[in-house]
Structure 1
Amino acid sequence: MYPDLIIMIKENNQTLILVTGGTGFVGIHAIHQLLQKGYQVKTTIRSLDRKKEILAMLKTAGIIQFDKLKFIEADLTRDANWDEAAKDCDYVLHIASPINLKIPKDENEMIKPAVEGTFRVLKAARNAGVKRVVMTSNFGAVGYSNKVKTALITEESWTDPAEKGLSAYNKSKVLAELAAWDFIKTEGQGLELAVINPMGIFGPSFNADLSSGYELLKSILDGTMKTIPNLVLGIVDVRDVADLHIRAMTNPAANGQRFIALAGGTMSLPQISQFLKQELPEAAKNASTKTLPDWLVRLAAIFSPKARAIVPMLGINRNASNEKARKLLGWQPRTNEQAVLAAAESLLKYNLNKI
């Protein structure tokens, strides 16, 4: 074993990381990578009943020892246990997001928990003397004020919270991130912050409880999506999102910075369908090759809630840059195709590709 690697493992053994939202798609991958690197990890879950779920996922990922992993029950919508969660931690990866499975009638039902949850984590981190928080935001906080434009989107770009048609989810993300930066400036007392803004997250899953991106792939694979909307996606592999969080946690240059997480370039849903038919011909034999024009999506939105949910995504500029993360942090993400294929293979692994 190389001397530098021995030193790094020894240092990591003495470093405690809090990961909020351990059952989440990004959260579990972050925990997996941190444990692999020898870190001590504490993770929050809304109910300790889900502890077995995390352990099962980590076993699937190849982790066999759990002496460096601790659990604490904490909910972003409640004050209880956040000070205890942050206690003795060197860093916090704030990945958790309030759960809201339905589109709320009042957008504040989604915005208020996101902002208040961010404050709870940041205050606990500050009070505990944490060095740096790395917060998961998303592309909705960066590039949703750039409709039908060709300008390259960078970390300098911000979504206008007042943008017409902005979803409650994306509005909650931009307002939560703005609140976080304001907190650091006015109340942080030396606490450092870095923010990760991922685009569409794909990649492998450690269990059959799959994220929303998989539903999209499933509907393409099994042919239930008879015609494919011409949605253009920026894509990133979940393994690379977790890796970027860890790089932003430890690299001094990441303090005070935000990083767009994407593989590079874009893929449209019709391109994804063609790619899956090419790479997984048997599994994707029912995948459609027909493209649904934008005007027809808008017409269908009058009658269909699913189509209505797609309309705000039509014409969004996804021409974004990952140069900052590459240059500043040495990040080397997988390709769009690798991320999509890994996600599709997870659907097949858990036999979830059936109609």
Structure 2
Amino acid sequence: MAGKSAAQTVLVTGASGFIAAHVTQQLLRAGYRVRGTVRSLQNEAKVEPLRKLCPDAKHELELVEADLLKPDSWKSAVEGCSHVIHVASPFPNAPPKDENSVCKPAVEGTTSVFKACEQAGTVKRVVLTSSFATVSGGLGTTPNYHYTENDWPDPDKMLPYEKSKLLAEKAGWDYVKNMKGINKFELAVMNPGLVLGPILSGTYCTSMEVPKRLMLREMPALPKIILPIVDVRDVAEAHIRAMTLPEAVGQRHMLISGSMWMLEMALVLQKEFKSQGYKIPTLIAPKLALQIASLFDPTLKYLIPSLEIVASFDKKRFTDVLGIKPIKNEDSLIEMAYSMIENGFLPKKPAYRKP
């Protein structure tokens, strides 16, 4: 873990989110003063789990209200902070009808946070959570292509969520590039793949969507796609290391531990949960059937260009620069499924056994 000072206060935006809750917990365990933002302090479902993240923390977690679409709410949130980890971003579980419903808050929110950081005059570095999709455009459509942090996709060919992450990341880089004066701060960007692992917050997150569909057999047959995966605990640790590591400044970092075919994920879950009463689908859906179904399902339409495509993602900055030793994809998937059951996002079958 990177070095720290008792005087340092780190702001984590969207603290109740899947990734942000882990970032907050790890910062508290490391002895940092942490301030987290939530949209409403009255939302107990989001606030209460945050209060319990680290009962023996040296410094009590401070929670404040801030909203991506309320620029004025960020001034007081950032005030006095030495570092900001900007994780908050809208993440729908289905493509929205209007892309502005995700692009607008993502871009304007990033700009508002960065502006508040500059005005505060105390912020040394911002770590921005982006996505592997801002490198590849999605799951990848070019066979055997090896993606690196130097790749940028065409935003006009992206789904609204992926496009929102791309536009927000570019807005962040542009803001830092155009800063002048004594209040300039550094920027490091994190580009994680599909994030799996145990859940700390009490609200549903879109990262649960694939495990949920497999565990509930919402897909009778599986698309032949391969997913780049990373554990949420590794993602959190990577954010914190990037916060102070000199080599992280001005760089993008793809956070991917490995890739799994959807069938591989299903077989891992089947091996663990079949005896506990969960019926995991393991049949591969014919390509033609998916193409027909995609005419009525916008999520499937997005997957069609990636069917049977194998792309690879460079992870040198993740493992060599940030020094992360990734958790196995299989362990991340199984632990996520168990935590979803324990937190009520999946039903407990009569034969269920708590690990």
> When the two structures are superposed, what TM-score results if normalisation uses the length of structure 2?
0.89
Alpha carbons of 1:308 and 1:160: their partners in 2 closer, same or farther (altered >3 Å)?
Answer: closer
Runs of 4+ in 1 over 6 A off after TM superposition: none
After superposition, residues 282-301 of structure 1 pair within 5 angstroms as 282-283=275-276, 285-301=278-294
Aligned to 1:16: 9
Equivalent-residue separation in structure 1 for 2:12 and 2:118 (angstroms): 15
Equivalent-residue separation in structure 1 for 2:98 and 2:219 (angstroms): 30
| Secondary structure of residue in 1 paired with 2:214 | helix
Equivalent-residue separation in structure 2 for 1:135 and 1:245 (angstroms): 8
Equivalent-residue separation in structure 2 for 1:162 and 1:171 (angstroms): 8
After superposition, residues 168-207 of structure 1 pair within 5 angstroms as 168-187=160-179, 189=181, 190-207=184-201
Alpha carbons of 1:240 and 1:302: their partners in 2 closer, same or farther (altered >3 Å)?
Answer: same
After superposition, residues 238-249 of structure 1 pair within 5 angstroms as 238-249=232-243
The letter for the 2-side match of 1:221 is M
| Secondary structure of residue in 1 paired with 2:145 | coil
> Is the Cα–Cα contact under 8 Å of residues 126 and 191 in structure 1 kept in the other structure?
yes
1:103 aligns with 2:95: yes
> Is the Cα–Cα contact under 8 Å of residues 107 and 168 in structure 1 kept in the other structure?
yes
Tell me how far 1:335 sits from its aligned partner. Answer: 1.5
Aligned to 1:83: 75
Q: Deviations over 1:263-283 (max 9, x none)?
A: 12x101111111111233324
Tell me how far 1:62 sits from its aligned partner. Answer: 4.7
Aligned to 2:304: 311
1:277 aligns with 2:270: yes
Moved more, 310-319 or 200-209: 310-319
Equivalent-residue separation in structure 2 for 1:291 and 1:76 (angstroms): 40
| Secondary structure of residue in 1 paired with 2:117 | helix
| Secondary structure of residue in 1 paired with 2:254 | strand
Q: Deviations over 1:2-59 (max 9, x none)?
A: xxx9x95xx4322100000011001111100000000001111111113673343452
Equivalent-residue separation in structure 1 for 2:201 and 2:276 (angstroms): 19
The letter for the 2-side match of 1:243 is E
Equivalent-residue separation in structure 1 for 2:248 and 2:124 (angstroms): 12
Aligned to 1:126: 118
In the alignment, structure 1 segments of 5+ residues that lack a partner are none
Q: Deviations over 1:141-179 (max 9, x none)?
A: 00127512312111111112133xx10111111111111
> Is the Cα–Cα contact under 8 Å of residues 127 and 190 in structure 2 kept in the other structure?
yes
1:347 aligns with 2:349: no
> Is the Cα–Cα contact under 8 Å of residues 18 and 43 in structure 1 kept in the other structure?
yes
Equivalent-residue separation in structure 2 for 1:87 and 1:316 (angstroms): 47
Q: Deviations over 1:244-264 (max 9, x none)?
A: 000000101111011001112
Alpha carbons of 1:70 and 1:277: their partners in 2 closer, same or farther (altered >3 Å)?
Answer: same
> When the two structures are superposed, what TM-score results if normalisation uses the length of structure 1?
0.89
Tell me how far 1:74 sits from its aligned partner. Answer: 0.8
Taking only the aligned residue pairs, the percentage that are identical comes to 36
Quick one: which of 22, 34, 38 aligns to 1:41?
Answer: 34
The letter for the 1-side match of 2:236 is A
In the alignment, structure 2 segments of 5+ residues that lack a partner are 350-355
Aligned to 1:142: 135
Moved more, 182-191 or 255-264: 182-191
Alpha carbons of 1:322 and 1:235: their partners in 2 closer, same or farther (altered >3 Å)?
Answer: same
